[in-house]
Amino acid sequence: MRNKIPPFLLNTPSSLHPERGGGKVSMSYIDKGIESFAGVLKEGYAQWKSASGKGFFYELDTRIKVVFWLFFILVVSLKKEILPEAGIFFTVFVILLVSRVNLVTFYRKVFLLGFIFGFLISLPSSLNVITHGKVIFPVIILPKAYDFWIYHIPGVIGFTAEGVSVVSMLTLRVINSLSLSFLILYTTPFPEIIKALKVLKVPDAFLIIISLTYKYIFIFARIVADMHLAKKSRLAGAVKSAEARDWIAGRIAFILKKTQLKCDDVFKAMIGRGFSGEIKLYQYQKITGRDWIFGFFLFALGSLILWV
Amino acid sequence: MEIIRAEGVHYNYYNRFPALIDVSLEINKGEKFAIIGSNGSGKSTLLQILTGLLFPSQGRVFFHNNELSEKSLKEKDFLRFFREKVGFVFQDSDIQLFCPTVMDELLFGPLQLGLKKDEALARASEIMQMLNIENLKDRPSYMLSGGEKKRVAIGSVLTMNPEVLLLDEPTSGLDPKTQVFLLELILALNEAGKIIVIATHDLSLVDELQSRVAVLSEEHRIEKIGSAEEILKDEDLLLKVNLIHEHVHYHGQTAHTHIHSHYLFHKH
Q: What is the pLDDT along chain A (308 residues), one digit of tens a residue?
A: 666 788 888 776 554 566 666 677 766 666 677 667 666 666 666 677 777 777 788 888 888 898 999 999 999 989 888 888 889 999 999 999 988 888 898 899 899 999 999 899 989 888 888 878 888 888 888 888 888 887 788 888 888 888 888 899 999 999 999 999 999 988 888 778 887 887 777 887 787 788 778 777 777 777 887 888 888 888 777 677 777 777 778 778 878 877 787 777 777 777 777 776 666 666 667 788 888 998 899 899 989 888 87
Domain ranges, residue A225? 27-272+289-307
Is B124 within the bounds of a domain?
no
Domain ranges, residue B7? 2-92+164-260
Number of domains in chain B: 1
- Nearest CB partner across the interface for B112, out of A7, A235, A247: A235
Whole-prediction pTM? 0.72
CB contacts < 8 A, A to B, total 138
Give A263 or B83, the one with higher predicted confidence.
B83
Counting beta carbons within 10 angstroms of the beta carbon of residue A44, is it exposed (0 to 12), middle (13 to 18) or buried (19 or more)? middle
Are A76 and A166 within 8 A, CB to CB?
A: no
Measure A66 CA to nearest chain B CA, in Å: 29
The answer to whether residue A257 neighbours chain B at the CB level (below 8 Å) is yes
Are B33 and B226 within 8 A, CB to CB?
A: no
The CATH number of the domain holding residue B175 is 3.40.50.300
- In our burial notation (b when 16+ CB lie closer than 10 A, e otherwise), range B26-53 reads ebeeebbbbbbbeeebbbbbbbbbbbbb
The pLDDT tens digits for B161-220 are 999 999 999 988 888 888 888 899 999 999 888 999 999 988 989 999 889 999 999 999
Is A137 within the bounds of a domain?
yes
Is A43 within the bounds of a domain?
yes
Is A20 within the bounds of a domain?
no
Q: Which of residues 126-185 of B touch A (CB under 8 A)?
A: 126-127, 129-130, 142, 156-158, 160-163, 181, 184-185
Is B207 within the bounds of a domain?
yes
CB contact (8 A) between residue A49 and residue B16: yes
Give B47 or A79, the one with higher predicted confidence.
B47
The answer to whether residue A20 neighbours chain B at the CB level (below 8 Å) is yes
Is B252 within the bounds of a domain?
yes
Is A4 within the bounds of a domain?
no
Is A11 within the bounds of a domain?
no
CB contact (8 A) between residue A17 and residue B75: no
Number of domains in chain A: 1
Is B246 within the bounds of a domain?
yes
The pLDDT tens digits for A75-109 are 998 988 888 888 999 999 999 998 888 889 889 98
Is B52 within the bounds of a domain?
yes
Is A123 within the bounds of a domain?
yes
Q: How many other CB atoms are found less than 10 A from the CB of residue A274?
A: 7
The pLDDT tens digits for B105-140 are 899 888 888 888 899 999 999 999 989 899 998 888
Chain B residues with beta carbon closer than 8 angstroms to that of A12? 163, 193
In the chain, the amino acid numbered B197 is V
CB contact (8 A) between residue B82 and residue A21: no
Question: Which pLDDT does position A52 carry in this prediction?
Answer: 73
